[in-house]
Structure 1
Amino acid sequence: MNTVASFSIIVPVFNEEDNLPVLFAEIHKAVSGLGKTWEVLFVDDGSTDRSLDVIKRLAAEHPEARYVSFCCNCGQSAAFGAGFRYAKGDVVITIDADLQNDPADIPAMLREYERGFDMVIGWRARRQDTFTKRIASKIANAIRNRLSHETVKDTGCSLKVMRTELARRLPMFTGMHRFLPTLMKMEGASVSEMKVNHRPRLHGTSKYGTFSRAKTAFFDLLAIRWMQRRHVCVDVREHN
């Protein structure tokens, strides 16, 4: 069994100014009654709209809101990596800024984590995306699982709960966010999946192309396969 005393919700942000106040309000409503210490850590990924101004206002108005910012766009993996590094909670929760992930799922995912898992990942059983995007995701998941010997239903869902100390051990590289469950398992993590809500995008546009990153993702997958074969996980304990 795990006991969660504190958690950090990491939100990568790139041009999501209209969604951020709504997202923070939904997070506050979902987690403020859990009796745990929590924070929202926004990671501004070089936004060119007013996202950073909105984040600064939220941080000024709410003690639970913090932020770090990049001077240029570095990508979602870099944003997650920065979030893992600067998070204060003993558990980190990742969530998209586009409001398609539902913060109301967080309490149930924390309860699942407290059953003894090191990571809980969301599974969007009823995705609210275009047909093309859903098909592309299914193909990518199938290829990814086949080559990495995985069984994850939906590794593309950003809503995840992780033990912070394990998340900080993960190798940082562009595309890392697509393989978080596999990378966590390489560190000895136990992983659980659970169904989560998925909502249509109301404001802004998707920042990631459906097929444009397929070639890069494939080479990332080959790198992950190499890491699985060569990885050494050592649990060192000091004895006096």
Structure 2
Amino acid sequence: MDDCSTDNSLSIIKKMADDFDEVRFVAFAENRGQSAAFCAGFDAVQSDIVVTMDADLQNDPADIPDMLAAFGDGCEMVIGWRAKRKDTFIKRISSKIANAIRDGIMDDGVHDTGCSLKVMRSDLLRKLPRFKNMHRYFPILMKMQGVLIREVKVNHRERATGVSKYGTLDRAMAGIYDLIGVKWLINRHIEFTVKEKK
């Protein structure tokens, strides 16, 4: 999935798609943000399982086999846990503050909601409510569907390319706005059990 990246990732993906029939891609006409990119990818995927990760080389693909091994046996989502983060000091502090606020308002029970390395069931992902920054709330949104989540400690590397857009004041304000909205969604969530139907 390419969200109009300014690096060379799209041309690399196109070359891979030419060389391997299994590789397909979706490229946006304009930048629409990470959540929109995820949703477009979820709609296009043809497998039962989705593995997500960023293209900035901070995630390590070598962690995927361990995450797939943790998937199944009732578990429908596996989240990467960057136990030893290689981010800047400011980004680590911003993340700690944001996580503390989020945990105080709604505890999703995971250590690292921000890690893009995740394994999830594609049919459940397509049922999630869609909104800007929804990717920050995948765990709680999946839990609303009764999903069992496991965490796997993963490697984390220093950013090799691109510039982080997180940690600025405008994003912090947007995060608070989103948090209020997701809390409302959780409180208004409908659950029911069908006794019988014809």
Which bin holds the TM-score, normalised by the shorter protein? over 0.9
Q: Give yes or no for the alignment of 1:190 onto 2:159.
A: no
Q: Deviations over 1:144-190 (max 9, x none)?
A: 11111332211000011111111110011101000000000011111
TM-score by length of 1: 0.77
Aligned equivalents of 1:57, 1:236: Cα separation in 2: 49
Larger relative contact order (CA 8 Å, sep ≥ 6): 2
Structure 1 pair 51–237 and aligned structure 2 pair: CA distance change class (3 A):
farther
Alignment partner, residue 95 of structure 1:
53
Alignment partner, residue 216 of structure 1:
174
- Give the Å deviation of 1:230: 0.5
Q: Is the Cα contact below 8 Å between 2:81 and 2:151 reproduced in 1?
A: yes
- Give the Å deviation of 1:137: 0.5
Structure whose residues are more often strand by fraction = 1
Q: Deviations over 1:98-128 (max 9, x none)?
A: 1111111111111111232011101100000
Q: Hey, which bits of structure 1, 4+ residues long, moved more than 3 A?
A: 48-51, 233-240
Q: Which amino acid aligns with 1:58?
A: M
Q: Is the Cα contact below 8 Å between 2:85 and 2:157 reproduced in 1?
A: yes
Q: Is the Cα contact below 8 Å between 1:123 and 1:154 reproduced in 2?
A: yes
Q: Which amino acid aligns with 2:114?
A: G
TM-score by length of 2: 0.93
Tell me the SS of whatever aligns to 2:51: strand
Tell me the SS of whatever aligns to 2:163: coil
Aligned equivalents of 1:236, 1:53: Cα separation in 2: 49
Structure 1 pair 49–104 and aligned structure 2 pair: CA distance change class (3 A):
closer
| 157, 161, 168: which one aligns with 2:126 | 168
Q: Deviations over 1:4-59 (max 9, x none)?
A: xxxxxxxxxxxxxxxxxxxxxxxxxxxxxxxxxxxxxxx11123444332221121
Q: Is the Cα contact below 8 Å between 1:46 and 1:73 reproduced in 2?
A: yes
Structure 1 pair 53–237 and aligned structure 2 pair: CA distance change class (3 A):
farther
| 110, 117, 123: which one aligns with 1:152 | 110
Alignment partner, residue 163 of structure 2:
205
Alignment RMSD (CA, Å): 1.7
Aligned equivalents of 1:133, 1:84: Cα separation in 2: 28
Q: Give yes or no for the alignment of 1:69 onto 2:27.
A: yes
Select between 193-202 and 48-57 the one with higher mean Cα deviation. 48-57
- Give the Å deviation of 1:234: 4.6
Q: Is the Cα contact below 8 Å between 1:145 and 1:152 reproduced in 2?
A: no
Identical-pair percentage: 54
Alignment partner, residue 141 of structure 1:
99
Structure 1: give runs of 5+ residues left out of the alignment. 1-42
Alignment partner, residue 89 of structure 2:
131
Aligned equivalents of 1:188, 1:131: Cα separation in 2: 36
